[in-house]
Chain A
């Protein structure tokens, strides 16, 4: 269980930020986020099914369709950030030609361990490599990937602007940035239902399925703190991406943001 008994005084080097609806210092936030994912890793994909009523599978199909990896022999290198369990990378490879490869970069060792097992079991170890790394400080050279994906990951990053700037750095010219994230529900009535589901249902499901409601409480709160569609699109543009656009999924429960390095 996440327990913050005392909050250290914020300083210039470690200013305040949010953890769900709580205010914590930046250093604390990263360790709290890591703690959440260490707890939910083994049942992460099952919980996503329960929480979204299976919708996350449809969203991810849309996401991979938006990525549109080459089906022919063309070489294509994908970097999937925060994709620890391997879900997006494996879906992408299933939709792509034989010379598509993926690197999964995640800050959570527990999520990566789940991914490592799945990638090996799927016989994809020669096409998918796993690296533990921070989205804000990527361990890859400039202009080394054709596409960068981040799926339900960016809202857990402490400095989103840094992560976006790193995303642009590692993309080749003409490279595609794609982000799938929970967003702001823009359909009347659906927003009320969604509120009830988020704050009443999800933490209870978390307790039942994963044995702990707290991590899911954080997930729900962090979704609400994340910038809305237009604001996030503006952040992507500010990081230097071109032709930035977004598409709502299920009335804005989630959204796919897209941008290009030109």
Chain B
């Protein structure tokens, strides 16, 4: 799935920073990186970006999109 950093995500409720500390990638169980602009949680190890909608992180493989090599390189 493609996610765009549109108005909808930019104005949606922000994710609670405390929540980020208690979430890991469901696939690799490694730490996630928060992309506030795109409202995504990025897993370098699994190469996946998990969307956040209305402040709710969607941490399933089905909801995720694959990260590009360039995106993984920046992590």
Chain A positions within 8 Å of B, measured between CB atoms, are: 103, 107, 109, 112-113, 116, 129-134, 137-142, 144
CB pair B56 A133 closer than 8 Å: no
Bound together, the chains give a CA A66 to CA B6 distance in angstroms of 45
CB pair B16 A132 closer than 8 Å: no
Question: Smallest Cβ distance from A86 to chain B, in angstroms?
Answer: 12
Name A133's contact: one of B19, B22, B26 (CB within 8 Å).
B26
CB pair B56 A107 closer than 8 Å: no
**B27 contacts across to A, CB distance below 8 A:** 137
**B63 contacts across to A, CB distance below 8 A:** 132
CB pair A137 B26 closer than 8 Å: yes
Main secondary structure on chain B at its contact with chain A? loop
CB pair B16 A129 closer than 8 Å: yes
A-B contact pairs, 24 of them (CB 8 A): A112-B56, A116-B54, A129-B16, A130-B56, A131-B23, A131-B57, A131-B59, A132-B57, A132-B58, A132-B59, A132-B63, A134-B26, A134-B60, A137-B26, A137-B27, A137-B60, A138-B26, A139-B23, A139-B25, A139-B26, A139-B59, A140-B24, A142-B29, A144-B22
**Chain B 13-39 interface mask (CB, 8 Å, partner A; 1/0):** 000100100111111010000000000
**A133 contacts across to B, CB distance below 8 A:** 26, 59-60
**B32 and chain A: residue at smallest CB distance:** A139
Bound together, the chains give a CA A39 to CA B9 distance in angstroms of 26
**A134 contacts across to B, CB distance below 8 A:** 26, 60-61
Question: Smallest Cβ distance from A171 to chain B, in angstroms?
Answer: 14
Question: Smallest Cβ distance from A68 to chain B, in angstroms?
Answer: 23
How many B residues touch the partner, as a band? 10 to 19
Name B56's contact: one of A132, A140, A141, A142 (CB within 8 Å).
A132
**A112 contacts across to B, CB distance below 8 A:** 56
Chain B residues numbered 22-74 whose CB sits less than 8 Å from any CB in chain A: 22-27, 29, 54-61, 63
**A140 contacts across to B, CB distance below 8 A:** 22-24
**B54 contacts across to A, CB distance below 8 A:** 113, 116
**A113 contacts across to B, CB distance below 8 A:** 54
Bound together, the chains give a CA A131 to CA B22 distance in angstroms of 11
Question: Smallest Cβ distance from B1 to chain A, in angstroms?
Answer: 13
By Cβ-Cβ distance, the 7 closest A-B pairs, closest first, are: A139-B59, A139-B26, A137-B26, A132-B58, A133-B59, A130-B56, A129-B19
Which of the listed residues B16, B23, B57, B61 has the most CB atoms from chain A within 10 Å of its own CB? Answer: B23
